[in-house]
Structure 1
């Protein structure tokens, strides 16, 4: 009888333990309710009182944000046996240059945001294109937006009043970029090389006196200082969203089309002068391009 009583007591303890586990839940087993640490149960998109958007991709892209640029190789002055300064124009309306005006994040927005936050120095074009005058914050703020005073007529009193209107910069107004670069022949490696020195977004404006449209650079960016910033910003790559192409890749690997508008000369004259037709400007641009190519080829003997 004692054995039977002990067996019944053992079964009772096992049954009560199983019932308790089903009632309270085993802490070691995963719960059927999906929760995240620090996320409120009533709103899964709120974390610590702040909105947390969901991941709009299949994986989190960290490679581009964590990329570090490689420093340029050291050059000796004695090894530079030839060099020439070239200015180019990138027309964003060409198909290969369309990433410059990507509606989601165009290049001009990247440069302006970095300049306004103090992460990038920009240079005033008043000082020329030799990066000699840093643009002050007030000029930069007025260029990227601000408030305008506009005179309007009050429809009730028919009197003129001054109204403040917010001015928002339109990224689509930048249709061309000016590039300053240096082509040089390195006799240590016996190769022709090129390094970009500066980038200037071009903006069109109408003069008040003559009433004609002119184009001028908004500011100059010293490209070697902007390389790390551009290396962490994504540029659209045709046909492959996983390419992880950065803006530094676009400039270093020359994923753009351009034409020459000026080459260093004794009179400091530009190719795109008003007295020259468009056809003459393109012919002169191709002539300078071919001249650079021929210089390297003429140094080799077969």
Structure 2
């Protein structure tokens, strides 16, 4: 009888152990396809820069189907949560998000600089006051008109005023052509494969569209949320111009790595990107390509061992 109880307990323990192995251990909350911590042999955090104007990335940036448009629409619809940066710790309100999309600096004032506005140009400019005269204005025939009271004065003409500056303007999706991808490069010991596990996507304003000449962050998004949003929206398509019967959902396009994005940073103690270390030139490009190759070599080493 005791032997039966011991065997029953042993079977229960074995079943529990098998169930525990099938359940994801410490799943990454930002990942669309989390990998069990126990199966990770190697992990490196990397950042990539994706230029949507590059030919290979243009299917993500088709007219009226820009990925930037879908991200903005997702926030406005309350489906996507924007964050201040890719650490994904600080959420942005809708007002804060829209504020980051406002045209800044010179663009914000109808193309006028602060000096031009101070000089009197623009919609707020006021016409110069007429010089005061003692006995009324000269009518052009040598006589002077009697001053009329304020009620009889004609309405001021708006012709001399500068152009009326429209309300607040925002960047349009077509101008937002830079994505920054934060992901984990993971060697899975169970499957002996290298996986790129995307954690966050950051929408940025290109330097060419910024008044300061620097790239600005609009917002970062948890990739798991973006992936679900794309999957639930059939309009979020990766546009296949070669064969329009073979469009893909953007979520699938990310799974299949249909994009091109060079590595700009690998996790390091100084938190410096490649440009900080090697400048924005050939050396930085070589380092980026070398890091890519080193990751592929690690996968090859798994098969050799």
> TM-score, length-normalised on structure 2?
0.66
Q: How much does 1:238 deviate? A: 2.7
**Counterpart of 2:295 in 1: which secondary structure?**
helix
Looking at structure 2, the residues matched to 146 and 282 of structure 1 have their Cα atoms a distance apart, in angstroms, of 31
Q: Which of 93, 98, 116 pairs up with 1:136?
A: 93
> Cα RMSD between the aligned structures?
3.0
Report the equivalent of 1:294.
297
Q: Give the C-alpha shift of residue 106 in structure 1.
A: 0.7
Deviation at 1:166, TM superposition (A): 3.9
Confirm whether residue 254 of structure 1 aligns to residue 257 of structure 2.
Answer: yes
Distance 1:72 1:144, change over 3 A: closer
Residue aligned with 2:95, SS: helix
Q: State the distance in 2 between where 1:297 and 1:149 align.
A: 56
Task: Give the alignment of 1:21-170 within 5 angstroms.
Answer: 75-125=35-85, 129-144=86-101, 151-152=122-123, 153-154=125-126, 156=157, 163-170=165-172
- For residue 219 of structure 2, what is the aligned residue in structure 1? 219
**What is the match of residue 174 of structure 1?**
176
Does 1:282 pair with 2:285?
A: yes
> Judging changes above 3 Å, is the alpha-carbon distance between structure 1 residues 166 and 143 closer, same or farther for their aligned structure 2 residues?
same
Equivalent residue, structure 2, for 1:229 = 229
Q: 2:267 aligns with which of 222, 239, 264?
A: 264
1:225 CA displacement: 1.3
Listed as ranges, the gaps of 5+ residues in structure 1 are: 1-70
Compute the displacement of 1:248 (Å). Answer: 0.5
Change (3 A) 1:288 1:164: same
Distance across 2 between alignment mates of 1:275 and 1:77: 33
List structure 1 runs of 4+ shifted beyond 6 angstroms. 146-150, 159-162
Give a deviation string over 1:226-262, Cα, whole Å, max 9, x none.
1121123222013222224011011110111111000
- Structure 2's unaligned 5+ residue stretches are 1-30, 111-121, 128-156
Higher helix proportion (structure 1 or 2): 2
Pair 1:240-2:243 in alignment: yes
The alignment partner of 1:110 has SS state of helix
Aligned residues: 227
Q: Which residue of 181, 196, 199 maps to 1:197?
A: 199
Q: Kindly indicate which of the two structures has a greater share of residues assigned to strand.
A: 1
Contact 2:75–2:82 under 8 Å retained in 1: yes
Distance 1:212 1:274 in 2: 23
Q: Tell me how far 1:197 sits from its aligned partner.
A: 0.8
Structure 1 residue 121 displacement after superposition: 0.7
Question: How has the CA–CA distance of structure 1 residues 72 and 102 changed in structure 2, closer, same or farther, with 3 Å as cutoff?
Answer: closer
- Could you give the per-residue CA deviations for residues 124-148 of structure 1, whole angstroms, max 9, x where no partner exists? 13xxx21001111111223345996
